[in-house]
Amino acid sequence: MLRALLYLQLATTLPLVGLIWFVQVVHYPLFRRVGAEVSAAYEQEHSRRTTRVVVAPMIAELACAAGLAFLRPPGLSGVLAVVGLALVLVIWASTFLLQVPQHGILEGGFDGSAHGRLVATNWIRTLAWT
């Protein structure tokens, strides 16, 4: 069972790593090119669709990371398991404390400062997931 938990952790984390790199390098920078007349609607739709895609894998990833940290399968370093959980918690904290507020501002229309903060602070999640 513990081996299955490790595989599930990989199955949830690896797609999220690919997604966050796409978002960081391609998607978020392109927000600047969305016309002002549609930027609020675009951001609202982005948030709605992205939430549907990432919520389940992020919850599963958090559950797996916690399980691995507390149950520690044989051969998995306790330090590595705790660091893994800590990185997932950094991702969640960054998401809700840094990125979500910027998305909230952008839902009112494009704001260059909020966009800049979104792109800059998203590096925290990008590096933590990597």
- Note the pLDDT of residue 75: 81
pTM attached to this predicted model: 0.93
H or E element that contains 75: none
Residue pLDDT, tens place only, 19-50: 999 999 999 999 999 988 899 999 999 999 99
Residue pLDDT, tens place only, 65-113: 999 999 887 888 889 999 999 999 999 999 999 999 999 999 999 999 9
- Note the pLDDT of residue 36: 86
Name residues whose C-beta falls within 8 Å of residue 124's C-beta, 6 or more positions apart in sequence: 90, 91, 94, 98
- Note the pLDDT of residue 76: 81
